[in-house]
A = this chain, B = another copy of it.
Amino acid sequence: MTAPLPARPGKITLVGLGPGAIEHMSGRARAAIAEADTIIGYAAYIRLVAELLPGKEVIKKAMTEELDRVHEAVDRARQGKNVALISSGDVGVYGMAGATYETLFQAGWTPDDDIAVEVVPGTSAINSCAALVGAPLTHDFCAISLSDLLTHWPVIARRLNAAAAADFVVALYNPKSGRRTRQIAEARRLFLAHRRPETPVAIVKSAYRARQHIEFATLDSLLDADIGMLSTVLIGNSSTFIQHGRMVTPRGYANKYETASGAAHRGERAGHSLSSGLDGWLAALREEHANGQSIAALASRFQLPPDYIAATLADADEALHAASDTAHDA
């Protein structure tokens, strides 16, 4: 860096506020705001934490001025200020953390520079919305933003299609805005090619804020729901259900245990992989292949790439040969 050194080192702290209510902020997020000289953020987020800000320089920016916010933060940090860049949810999820590092790198920043950078993690919208509706994230999940302001639509569509086909629970961020109304309809169309119309959906608006609104729907009825800028849409996987107003994705205990007695099913052991886990599946695959099942037939049955089936079978053969070599050596 050729700029003159500041009187004292500056700092940029990227702070995720969590869903919005101050009680859902972490202690570290509160402390980071308390330590800061300057707070920069979208006006709506500044309002959420107004009571923490007396005595500080506060810079409010409009929604689309993300890069401006970062430039202001870097300028102030160069002057030796401690700057908190705040956002709702987790600041790393579609958030300011990426733009900040990108801008710093372009300016020649390194970790030895006189600007320190800290990212304070927070509770992201997918987590806060899930907590409000029940327990939908008990199994593998994805977050997909429907905003095409910075992303080509085919990239978004491919991810929607893949997530729907592979039975992920999915959270749609930025599902709709005043100008973007068709993206959610396209997402629904892509999902309906793989999932039942009755697949449960939850739409959560302004989680943990004054105007919080929760609505349950199905993939079929999704477009009738009230969806806007402040909504997150949670789409269940093929096992997710809604009962008594709670959306729940089973973890899979029923794959191993009897519901009534809690005893393990025959062939299953607590603390061990399922009999259809990796090792058991590979053994079955080997046996079926030895019995004449083709790689193409196995790939189609398990909905996995033929190359993957072929490679695991080749590995298994190798392991068998190695084992028989060892036995021979012994």
Contacts and interface: CB of A to CB of B under 8 A. Distances in A.
Given A151-B274, A152-B281, A168-B142, A98 B251 contact: yes
A42 B243 CA distance: 28
Determine chain A's interface SS by DSSP, over half rule. Answer: mixed
Contacts of A162: 162-163, 165-166, 168
A324 interface: no
A207 to B, nearest CB: 9
Interface in A181-198: 182-183, 186, 189-190, 193
A98 B253 CA distance: 10
Interface stretch (A16-24, A49-57, A212-220, A224-232): A16-24
A279 interface: yes
A272 B168 CA distance: 29
A143 B144 contact: no
Contact of A127 (B124, B130, B132, B166): B124
Contacts of A143: 140-142
Nearest to A280: B153
Given A152-B277, A162-B162, A190-B308, A140 B134 contact: no
Interface of A: 16, 18-19, 21-28, 30-31, 63-64, 66-67, 90-95, 97-102, 105-106, 109-111, 119-124, 127-128, 130-132, 134-145, 148-159, 161-163, 165-168, 179-180, 182-183, 186, 189-190, 193, 243-246, 248-253, 255-257, 259, 262, 270-274, 276-282, 302-305, 307-308, 311-312
